[in-house]
Amino acid sequence: MGFLLHHLLAESASRSPEATAIKFKRENVTYGELEERSNQLAHALIDVGIAPGDRVGLCLEKSLASVISVFAVLKAGACYVPVDAHAPGPRVADIVQQCAMRCLITTAAAGERLFKTSPDRRSLERIFFVDDVPNASLPYPLQCVGLSQAISGQSKDPPALGGTNQDLAYVLFTSGSTGTPKGVMLSHLNALTFVNWGYETFNIRADDRLSNHAPLSFDLSVFDIFAGVKAGATISLVPEGLSSFPVRLAELLEEHRITVWYSVPSVLTLLLTHGKLQNRDLRDLRLILFAGEVFPVKYLRRLMKLVPHAKYFNLYGPTETNVCTYYEVEPIPEDQVTPIPIGKGCANTEVFAIDEQGQRVIGAGQEGLLYVRGSTVMQGYYARPADTERAFIRNPFSHGRDEKAYCTGDLVTLDTKGNYHFLGRRDHMIKTRGYRVELGEIESALYAHPAIREAVAVALPDELLGNKIKVFVVPEGSRPLDEREVKRHCARLLPRYMIPEDVEFRALLPRTSTDKVDRTRLNAESTKAQE
Amino acid sequence: MNTEEILIQFIRSELTFDQEDANVAVDDPLLNGPLDSLGVLRLVAFIEEKFHVRVEDEDLVPENFQTVRRIAEYIHRKSAVGG
């Protein structure tokens, strides 16, 4: 009886060692090979001193190595911390520092970008390189090792470690409103609560072929990899960048005979509008799951007509809880413009909404903030006790037991069928292409520029992206500042999806009666300008 | 300016932000750097408008966008058959 994520792999490898576990480009790895190689890497990690509870960074593109590393880190009793392979050096360094990362598995290119920044990285002792060990001279003592060198000669048997499902499995960093990202801590139990729900609800079987589109830093990947492995199914890693080439992506769907697809809606929209899906034989595609942002109804409707034999599910849930509600989409009437619901709570998870008067939302039309309770809810934010405390409330419906519920910050309403609908947020968190972005993080980055006196970021609704980001900048002094320089400055600190699309310079920003920046007015002006 | 120069100027001014990426040479790989999914869409919009060719969905494949040279070759092929 497995109680840790990597037990799922051990069980499937024992049942069907020859079955294909992972496909990537022209390479395949069987369950037996995945089990053995991750055991070997786990031993290599333990040999260099990785201890249970340590944070091991994975700064890698989609690859067989990335999946092997995930299981290896878990088997060493540590938790993996995915970092976007193309994130700027300062952001990687910030994540390393925040979670006191001791070891990083990465590529030469990403490693070199990290070396060029100079913040405190005392915790980092060792870097494993999946390709070549770079020649760069290191600014501080650090052991650099090639992965294949580290693995050779290691035992293929699993490390004999204990551990409980309360231990951390991974830490996912998401945008933070005050300028630095927050690390969401998820335990094996958190992950398995979700994985087991997904496995049961969608009846994932050994003959399924799941795609993995989402990067490791997105919790959608937890379903692809772990529900897939639990079933002994085949997981096809979608090469990064293939989303930019929808015809190729559609080709992969057909060639690999994908049965289960899970991604953000904007990728599906691109597939629909530019992927020539009508030319593809997608008879094996039985399930299309989407999460992370609102799927515009007009595109979803078209997709459902194009692939009518598949079942469609809208999944909802922040990184802090993974999926907590879900909704099976029925064919959408031609005249419907309202978005589809986020649905009802998953089995073994409780969701409820509380209105402004502190009352529970029980009737159709009532609005409130959504809360989540259950073993799917995170352990907290890494080393941020104040943020963690703020994120939880004492469950007001707990009948005396002192338990907590997580506040999603999402405003919802109930319909007559008991389904929740997403209404919006109270704060400045937005979604763009499914990515979570705190407008405050962009503003903080802008404020770091010496020639920027004031900056405000707003979100403009966009059909394809969900939201586009526009910033208003008040320059400081007479130093020349142009749009290109502002974007370049952002690119030095922020991931690509947070770089504003539009920059407008103002001498003054409009203010409210309480002297705060009038964001509503800036939003209105921007929306009008778009029309 | 020839096709390659026009493309390089667009990529430099609109799609790259790092100082290091600013020197884009005709044979530099674009797909793991300056061109992410949004970048490709923007580039396609620019190509269609600037060079009066229609980028078909089937043409939107990595081989045609790997380097500036490849993009230029693609544009010339399309222009030769009348866009």
- pLDDT per residue over A230-265, tens digit each? 999 999 999 987 888 999 999 999 999 999 999 999
B45 touches chain A (CB under 8 A): no
Question: Across the interface, do A245 and B60 touch by the CB < 8 Å criterion?
Answer: yes
> Can you give the residue range of the structural domain that contains B38?
3-13+24-80
- A75 close to A51: Cβ distance less than 8 angstroms: no
Residue A95 has pLDDT above 60, yes or no: yes
Residue B19 belongs to a domain:
no
pLDDT digits (tens, 9 = 90+) for B16-25: 766 555 678 8
* Of A246, A491, A499, Cβ closest to residue B60: A246
Question: Across the interface, do B36 and A496 touch by the CB < 8 Å criterion?
Answer: yes
Residue A412 has pLDDT above 80, yes or no: yes
Chain-centroid distance, C-alpha A118: 27
| The predicted structure's pLDDT at residue A77 | 98
B63 touches chain A (CB under 8 A): no
- DSSP conformation class of A517: B
Beta bridge partners of residue A381, listed in sequence order: A184
* Of B17, B18, B62, Cβ closest to residue A248: B62
| The predicted structure's pLDDT at residue A465 | 83
Beta bridge partners of residue A354, listed in sequence order: A360, A369
| The predicted structure's pLDDT at residue A118 | 58
- What is the arithmetic mean of pLDDT over B2-22? 79
| The predicted structure's pLDDT at residue A131 | 84
Identify all chain A residues contacting B61, using CB atoms and an 8 Å cutoff.
245, 247-248
* Average pLDDT value for chain A: 92
Identify all chain B residues contacting A496, using CB atoms and an 8 Å cutoff.
36, 38
Range with the largest mean pLDDT of A66-80, A447-461, A483-497:
A66-80
Residue whose structure tokens are 């953000």: A264
Residue B63 belongs to a domain:
yes
| The predicted structure's pLDDT at residue A109 | 82
- A252 close to A258: Cβ distance less than 8 angstroms: yes
Identify all chain B residues contacting A434, using CB atoms and an 8 Å cutoff.
none
Residue whose structure tokens are 């990687």: A92
Question: Across the interface, do A245 and B38 touch by the CB < 8 Å criterion?
Answer: no
| The predicted structure's pLDDT at residue B82 | 57
Alpha helices for A355-479 (secondary structure H): 385-391, 439-447
Identify all chain A residues contacting B41, using CB atoms and an 8 Å cutoff.
244
pLDDT digits (tens, 9 = 90+) for A121-135: 667 888 888 888 877
Q: What is the pTM of this model?
A: 0.90
* Of B37, B38, B58, Cβ closest to residue A247: B58
Question: Across the interface, do B38 and A433 touch by the CB < 8 Å criterion?
Answer: yes
Residue A20 has pLDDT above 80, yes or no: yes
pLDDT digits (tens, 9 = 90+) for A446-486: 988 989 988 999 999 888 888 999 999 999 877 789 998 99
Question: Across the interface, do A245 and B18 touch by the CB < 8 Å criterion?
Answer: no
- A285 close to A258: Cβ distance less than 8 angstroms: yes
Please state, in angstroms and rounded to a whole number, the distance separating the CA atoms of residues A412 and A430: 16
Name the CA dihedral angle for A99, A101, A105, A108, rounded to a multiple of 10 degrees. Answer: 100
Residue A206 has pLDDT above 60, yes or no: yes
- The set of residues, in sequence order, having a beta carbon less than 8 Å from that of A63 and lying 6+ positions away, is A24, A130, A237
A306 touches chain B (CB under 8 A): no
Q: What phi and psi, each to the nearest 5 degrees, are found at residue A104? A: -130, 135
* Of B32, B35, B60, Cβ closest to residue A274: B60
Strand extents, DSSP E, A317-432: 325-328, 344-345, 349-354, 367-374, 380-381, 392-394, 404-414, 420-425, 429-432
| The predicted structure's pLDDT at residue A133 | 82
Residue B41 has pLDDT above 60, yes or no: yes
Parallel/antiparallel/unpaired status of strands A79-82 and A55-59: parallel
Q: Between residues 4 and 43 of chain B, which touch chain A (CB distance below 8 Å)? A: 13, 17-19, 31-33, 35-41
Question: Across the interface, do A491 and B17 touch by the CB < 8 Å criterion?
Answer: yes
Quickly count: other Cβ atoms within 10 Å of residue A20's Cβ. 18
Q: What is the CATH number of the domain that holds B7?
A: 1.10.1200.10
Strand, helix or coil at A401? Answer: coil
Identify all chain A residues contacting B44, using CB atoms and an 8 Å cutoff.
none
Residue B28 belongs to a domain:
yes
Label each residue of A237-262 as H, E or C: ECCCCHHHCHHHHHHHHHHCCCCEEE
* Average pLDDT value for chain B: 84
Residue B81 has pLDDT above 80, yes or no: no
A499 touches chain B (CB under 8 A): yes
Query: What sign does the CA torsion over A10, A322, A234, A86 have?
Result: negative
Residue B18 belongs to a domain:
no
- Quick one: residue A424, left, alpha or beta (phi over 0 = left, psi -120 to 50 = alpha)? left
Question: Across the interface, do B38 and A274 touch by the CB < 8 Å criterion?
Answer: no
| The predicted structure's pLDDT at residue A192 | 98
Residue A177 has pLDDT above 90, yes or no: no
Question: Across the interface, do B57 and A247 touch by the CB < 8 Å criterion?
Answer: yes
- Chain B residue with minimal CA distance to A240? B32
Alpha helices for A120-187 (secondary structure H): 147-151
- A13 close to A39: Cβ distance less than 8 angstroms: no
pLDDT digits (tens, 9 = 90+) for A376-390: 999 999 999 999 999
Domains, chain A, with CATH or none: 5-240 (3.40.50.12780), 322-425 (2.30.38.10), 432-530 (3.30.300.30)
Domain count, chain B: 1
Nearest to A300 by CA among A343, A280, A271, A274: A271
| The predicted structure's pLDDT at residue A1 | 62
| The predicted structure's pLDDT at residue A142 | 81
> Residue A400 is which amino acid?
G
pLDDT band at A418; cut points 50, 70, 90: very high
| In chain A, % of residues over pLDDT 70 | 98
pLDDT: is A293 or A408 the higher one?
Answer: A408
Separation in Å, CA of A365 to nearest CA in chain B = 38
Please state, in angstroms and rounded to a whole number, the distance separating the CA atoms of residues A110 and A148: 18
Residue B31 belongs to a domain:
yes
Residue B67 belongs to a domain:
yes
Parallel/antiparallel/unpaired status of strands A404-414 and A392-394: antiparallel
Separation in Å, CA of A243 to nearest CA in chain B = 6
pLDDT digits (tens, 9 = 90+) for A278-332: 999 999 999 999 999 889 898 999 999 999 999 999 999 999 999 999 999 999 9
Residue B34 has pLDDT above 90, yes or no: no
Range with the largest mean pLDDT of A205-214, A391-400, B3-12:
A205-214
Residue A356 has pLDDT above 60, yes or no: yes
- Tokens at residue A352, please? 């409820």
* Mutation to test the B interface, candidates A115, A244, A503, most B Cβ within 10 Å: A244
